Amino acid sequence: MRIGFRTIKTAIGVSISILLAQALQLEYYTAAGILTLLCIQKSRKQSTQAVISRFFACIAGLLFSSLLFEVIGYRPYSFLVLLLLFIPFCVRFRIQEGIASSSVIVMHVYMHGKIEPSFYWNEIQVMLVGLGVGLLINWYMPSIDKELNRYKEEVDQLISKILNEMASYLKEGYTLWDGKELLLLSDTLQKAKRLAILDAENNLLRKENSNQAYFEHKQRQYDILERMLPSISRITVQMEQGIRIGDFVQELSHHLNNRSQTASFREKLRDIRDYHKHLPLPESRNEFENRASLYTVANELERFINTI
């Protein structure tokens, strides 16, 4: 059985909250642990948002329930009226995430059965301990740079493999490639982008997230490769023009992240286009269709270069 880091943080946080609340001799001190439990999130940003929404929801629940119970009485049916009014209120002010947390405070109001300043001060301290410990515990996040770098290497290898297979087909006119790398690339990019977003949410003071930008570039490259495949598959004969483009694609696969080569790639692709422009007109429909497909591939390659 594997115990995750988030589980460990939750266990530690709940224990510390209850210990502090009990040391302060607060009534309903175990509620601090429940509030901490509900605040442990996947990232610092999510945790901060959870604490803010839960704090305001708890304050609103404390005041709302006190007023309502005083008006209609401390009876079980009071919860019917309370929840019918309070849940829409939380949704309206976008603090619905704190409904469960505030319900803990509402139960305390119901059990206490009367309005007293000391009771309110007790509840506020319970909130501060529970939510504060949750925020502090969740502020420590382990580095995920190693995993992000692994995804970068995997994505680059897959793109390079796809480009090489395309080059082989253009140069040799056939390939045994089954296209599984394209499916794997799509899945890997989705996982990598989710992890990059998590990294950004854990580094709120960082102005820009290079990992997010990196994988967005790779997503654009994937989209271009996906568009290129149908055009390449429509090329039915081995052509001298196709061999030229195949050599270019193969070279491109070796310099995926070398931005210093971008100008050189643009010039080489422009030379290939100029060469194609000076070729004699197609002599058959089949030749015309194949050259049209190569022209489309060249257009996509130009867009691909812009993503390097």
How high is the pLDDT of residue 205? 63
Query: CB burial class (10 A; 0-12, 13-18, 19+) of residue 134?
Result: buried
| Predicted confidence band of residue 53 (pLDDT cuts 50, 70, 90) | very high
Question: Can you give the pLDDT at residue 308?
Answer: 80
The mean pLDDT value for 264-277 works out to 85
pLDDT digits (tens, 9 = 90+) for 90-104: 999 988 888 988 999
Q: What percent of the chain has pLDDT over 90?
A: 49
Q: Among 75-84, 260-269, 278-287, which range has the highest average pLDDT?
A: 75-84
Top-confidence residue, 238 or 92? 92
- pLDDT, one tens digit per residue, over 62-78 is 999 999 999 998 999 89
Rounded CA-CA distance 192/90 in Å is: 34
pLDDT of residue 204: 66
Q: What pLDDT score was predicted for residue 301?
A: 92
Among 17, 20, 61, 21, which residue's Cα sits nearest to residue 39?
17
Q: What is the pLDDT of residue 208?
A: 64
Q: Name the nearest CA neighbour of 122 among 261, 24, 190.
A: 24
Instruction: Over range 274-300, report the average pLDDT.
Output: 83
- The CA distance from 235 to 233, in Å, is 5
> For the residues 12-23, what does the mean pLDDT come to?
94
Q: Is the pLDDT of residue 142 over 80?
A: no
153-170 per-position pLDDT tens digit: 999 999 999 999 999 998
Among the listed residues 233, 104, 33, 61, the one whose alpha carbon sits nearest the alpha carbon of residue 242: 233
pTM of the full structure: 0.73
Q: What pLDDT is attached to residue 105?
A: 93
d(CA 271, CA 252): 15
Give the pLDDT band (50/70/90) at residue 286.
confident
* Residue 29 pLDDT greater than 90, yes or no: yes
Q: First vs last Cα of the chain: how many Å apart?
A: 43
Say yes or no to pLDDT of 15 above 80: yes
pLDDT, average across residues 255-278: 83
